[in-house]
């Protein structure tokens, strides 16, 4: 294991791994929670993934009943069902809205 001075590397850079504590699904959902009219191109730039990946995540969230896409002319608006529960057994008792409010 290499020696480092405390505080010289971000925790996400340790041993060359790039990771965060939150999933891309949550990052996309958080962007749309903060701005329901945000373009998916802009979401992709913020989350640092491709626009195609964002489209797939939005489709996942729609299929799970977490997100609803509302067509407004040439644009979309996204409605988040904040009363839906998180999906993992460790936090399935927590509504999505509670997590989103915490991260707002």
Specify if 56 maps to a domain.
yes
Residue 96 and residue 29 in contact, taking contact as beta carbons nearer than 8 Å:
yes
What residue numbers bound the domain in which 86 lies?
Answer: 20-103
Specify if 98 maps to a domain.
yes
Specify if 7 maps to a domain.
no
Strand partners, 69: 78
Judge whether residue 14 has pLDDT over 70. Answer: no
pLDDT in tens, 35-60: 999 999 999 999 999 999 999 999 99
The Cα–Cα gap between 79 and 76 comes to 10
The Cα–Cα gap between 61 and 29 comes to 8
Specify if 29 maps to a domain.
yes
Alpha-carbon distances, residue 36 vs 5, 27, 39 (angstroms): 42, 13, 9
Looking up residue 74, the CATH number of its domain turns out to be 1.10.10.10
Specify if 72 maps to a domain.
yes
CB proximity list for 69: less than 8 A, separation 6 or greater: 58, 62, 76, 77, 78
Give residue 11's pLDDT band: very low, low, confident or very high (50, 70, 90): low
The pTM of the full predicted model, rounded to 2 decimals, is 0.81
Phi, psi torsion values for 36, nearest 5 degrees: -65, -15
Specify if 11 maps to a domain.
no
Average pLDDT of the chain to the nearest whole number: 89
Residue 75 and residue 37 in contact, taking contact as beta carbons nearer than 8 Å:
yes
Specify if 14 maps to a domain.
no
Specify if 89 maps to a domain.
yes
Give residue 1's pLDDT band: very low, low, confident or very high (50, 70, 90): very low
- Report how many domains make up the chain: 1
């Amino acid at each position: 294991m290499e020696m480092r001075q405390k505080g010289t590397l971000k925790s996400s850079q340790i041993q060359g791994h790039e990771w965060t504590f939150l999933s891309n699904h949550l990052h996309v959902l958080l962007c749309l929670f903060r701005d329901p009219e945000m373009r998916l191109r802009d979401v992709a730039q913020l989350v640092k993934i491709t626009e195609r990946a964002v489209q797939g995540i939005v489709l996942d969230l729609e299929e799970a009943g977490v997100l609803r896409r509302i067509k407004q002319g040439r644009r979309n608006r996204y409605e988040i069902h904040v009363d839906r529960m998180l999906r993992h057994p460790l936090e399935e008792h927590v509504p999505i809205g509670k997590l989103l409010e915490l991260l707002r």
